[in-house]
Structure 1
Amino acid sequence: MFNLFGRKAPRSNIKPARGPGETVREADLRYLQEWVSTHAVVEAFVEPETIVNEMSVVLVDITGEFTRRRIGGPKGIDVISSTLGVPVYDVEETGYPQRMREKIERDRILRKREEQRERREKLQKERERGESQ
């Protein structure tokens, strides 16, 4: 707490953020290439760097399904554009596509319905146990 005896703080597994001159990691690029090859009509949306997150790209397909990966910095935009061969947009200028927002909302509704179904089943089982006693 106060480091009274001069002991070193425990090391963290957190890696420092990449600098703005860096680019997409190989593993991330391979993942994005595979994702593009298995989805139809893909577009890329670049998200700006924030205090918490590195610059990233969101790939969105025709159904609204999406994936997100860090791209390091502005050089990563060029790599994404040339390697993936998909249109690239700045999310601050265009916003997220409507199909992505609709998919997120559909998934949220389906999750809530499933949670409600599970609660009803649990309540029904509790009632059945109470009646049998």
Structure 2
Amino acid sequence: MYKSIITGLMFTAFITNANENEVLNVDRSVSKHIEFSFPNNKGIRPKHSDFELINYVIMSNDLGERWAVLTLTNTSSGNRVLEQDHIMATFANGVRKSPLEFKLNFGGNEIQSITVSFGESKFPILSIQAETEI
């Protein structure tokens, strides 16, 4: 009887610990542009768009998942669609990567927030950028 109780308690502790590893923690909130000087020999940049990145919050968990809440504005007076290739993150090892696939419709001059996933990485996200057309 005691064996089954102990086994049950161990299983519950394991499940609880697994769920705790999945919880996202805020790494940092950024409202000003941050510059890093990692080499970019391939010239990897986000696709030009009418979206301006206002601010973002970087999140991660113990499983290595990397997420961000982005707040962007459509600087155009017309409707636009934000897609993953309009956004790019720079990781602590210098790798640049767009988030996983998504699409979000914006009205003219509209501001929206969206939560996006950058997949898994052992390196944290240092910065995120969008490239507004000039």
TM exceeds 0.5?
Answer: no
TM-score of the superposition, structure 1-length normalised? 0.23
Q: Which has the larger share of strand?
A: 2
Q: Which has the larger share of helix?
A: 1
Greater relative contact order (Cα 8 A, min sep 6): structure 1 or 2?
2
Question: Which protein shows a greater Rg?
Answer: 1
